[in-house]
Chains A and B, each alone.
Chain A
């Protein structure tokens, strides 16, 4: 992203994640979130779900990565927020997308979201980035 001019409307290069049940078990272990709806199919169905579902915070991690891998060391993440709006199931691709909404005073505001195979936005988010090379006039 060197020399890229940051302007409202600029889209981040999207990342497509392919979460698996194996990844949900890995995430349960690494995060310590052992709620059974994330790895026990019978438990999940008894709770009224179509099957095991992704951890909201795993989707948050995907969106955070979208931002940090794009920004590299040219910007510092100051704030990051996500709201979980829909369930996502393993075995289905999950598009992670973002767009620059504003740039002012060395700070960029991003809108972020995950999108399922049907185009539903299942996670909505935002991020505030502090640009570390403001002398370059909004370029990072």
Chain B
């Protein structure tokens, strides 16, 4: 892919920073939390009542659709994740997730230009309070 084409992809994405918001609503189900804990091998009994730290990623939260990102490179990499915990999320809670694109930039990698997309998601409980705020960096290579 030419540098000009890639630059236009990142420019188009940058124009969407903060604007696109995807929302979804999720019920925290005991069986889902149990299967997640089995998958990560964590048998701590406290996860029978609340969710373990990385569970929110399993909610299937909608993220803004960014079809132009697929024009860059041929696959995805996960760059990193950050979680801020404000309140516990408990089984039975109803969580509204609001996700938006907060940054888009390019970096030169060993095998070509990498496109970085940063999403921030707020997980809001049934009391209207933000329980978890997460920031995920996804990379097109």
Binding site for B on A (CB under 8 A): 17, 23, 26-27, 29-33, 35, 37, 47, 55-58, 60-62, 64-65, 67-69, 73, 76-84
A-B contact pairs, 10 of them (CB 8 A): A23-B41, A30-B40, A31-B58, A57-B57, A57-B81, A61-B40, A64-B52, A64-B53, A80-B82, A84-B78
Binding site for A on B (CB under 8 A): 32, 35-36, 38-42, 44, 46, 52-54, 57-58, 60, 74-85
Partner of B80 from A17, A67, A81 at Cβ < 8 Å: A81
Residues of B within 8 Å of A84, CB to CB, are 77-80
Q: Is the CB of A82 within 8 A of B81?
A: yes
Q: Is the CB of A61 within 8 A of B38?
A: no
Could you tell me the distance between the alpha carbons of A79 and B132 in the complex, rounded to whole angstroms? 9
Shortest Cβ distance from residue B59 to the other chain A in the assembled complex, whole angstroms = 8
Q: A56-B81, A77-B85 are in contact. Are A23 and B58 (CB under 8 A)?
A: no
Residues of B within 8 Å of A57, CB to CB, are 54, 57, 78, 81
Could you tell me the distance between the alpha carbons of A32 and B29 in the complex, rounded to whole angstroms? 14
Shortest Cβ distance from residue A24 to the other chain B in the assembled complex, whole angstroms = 9
Could you tell me the distance between the alpha carbons of A79 and B133 in the complex, rounded to whole angstroms? 9
Q: Is the CB of A27 within 8 A of B40?
A: yes
Shortest Cβ distance from residue B133 to the other chain A in the assembled complex, whole angstroms = 9
Shortest Cβ distance from residue B140 to the other chain A in the assembled complex, whole angstroms = 13
Could you tell me the distance between the alpha carbons of A17 and B46 in the complex, rounded to whole angstroms? 21
Could you tell me the distance between the alpha carbons of A80 and B76 in the complex, rounded to whole angstroms? 23
Could you tell me the distance between the alpha carbons of A69 and B35 in the complex, rounded to whole angstroms? 19
Could you tell me the distance between the alpha carbons of A35 and B39 in the complex, rounded to whole angstroms? 16
Q: Is the CB of B81 within 8 A of A29?
A: no
Apart from A57-B57, A61-B40, list 9 A-B contacts with CB within 8 A. Answer: A30-B32, A32-B58, A47-B75, A55-B78, A60-B54, A61-B53, A64-B53, A64-B54, A79-B84
Q: A17-B41, A31-B58 are in contact. Are A82 and B52 (CB under 8 A)?
A: no
Residues of B within 8 Å of A73, CB to CB, are 46
Q: Is the CB of B39 within 8 A of A27?
A: yes
Complex: chain B residue closest to A76, CB-CB: B85
Q: Is the CB of A35 within 8 A of B76?
A: yes
Residues of A within 8 Å of B35, CB to CB, are 26, 29-30
Could you tell me the distance between the alpha carbons of A31 and B39 in the complex, rounded to whole angstroms? 9
Complex: chain B residue closest to A27, CB-CB: B39
The 6 closest A-B CB pairs, nearest first, are A56-B78, A83-B80, A64-B53, A61-B40, A30-B39, A26-B39
Q: Is the CB of B81 within 8 A of A23?
A: no
Residues of A within 8 Å of B80, CB to CB, are 56, 81-84
Partner of A37 from B40, B52, B60, B75 at Cβ < 8 Å: B75
